[in-house]
Amino acid sequence: MRRLLRARYGEIRLHPTRNPAGLSRRVRAYLAGTHRAIDDVPVDTGGTPFQRRVWSALRRIPAGQTLTYGALARRLGIPAASRAVGRAVSLNPVAIVVPCHRVIGANGTLTGYAGGLDRKRWLLAHEGAGPTPSRGRAAPARTTRRTHAGAVRLAVGAVTRTRQ
């Protein structure tokens, strides 16, 4: 995750802060089960116009639902561009808040995630979705719950970085 942040913003420094712009409170609410608590967190992702379009579409996938890369490409009106969409998803600089973990492979398998597949699996289970293409319906969760504080710290740090 730090590598992605450096690629997007250059050299970064994450500074411990109690509740930067209310983000810690929102992330804690998300982790406590209020999944919509982070839906309207403002972010400046940077990136190309195409990447920003893909990242914006990610924010419209509700918690508890998954979507395949191909389905996301179709939603964007570019059905033949699932690989390009996948590449843009992989470069998402603001994990969790821009929920790239909700995008899965065409056959329902979990595919790459900068935070690791264990975190992706945990996030999907936490939101009540499993790694099955849902076409708008939540799939059952199949993993144990445990907090991944490192991913959350990086997500909050990334969002904080964009507000400077």
Q: How far is CA 126 from CA 31, 40, 55, 79, 88, in A?
A: 8, 19, 21, 30, 24
Does the pLDDT at position 136 exceed 60? no
- Fold of the domain built from segment(s) 2-162: Arc Repressor Mutant, subunit A (1.10.10)
Q: What is the pLDDT of residue 164?
A: 43
**Radius of gyration over every alpha carbon of the chain, rounded to an integer in angstroms:** 15
Q: What are the structural domain ranges in the chain? A: 2-162
**What confidence score (pLDDT) does residue 7 get?**
76
**What are 43-98's pLDDT values in tens digits?**
988 899 999 999 999 999 999 999 999 999 999 999 999 999 999 999 998 889 99
What is the pLDDT, as a whole number, of residue 139? 40
In this prediction, residues 14-21 reach a mean pLDDT of 84
This prediction's pTM: 0.74
Q: What is the pLDDT of residue 130?
A: 60
Mean pLDDT (the chain, rounded): 81
Cα separation, 109 vs 33, in Å, equals 24
Give me the active site residues, please: 100
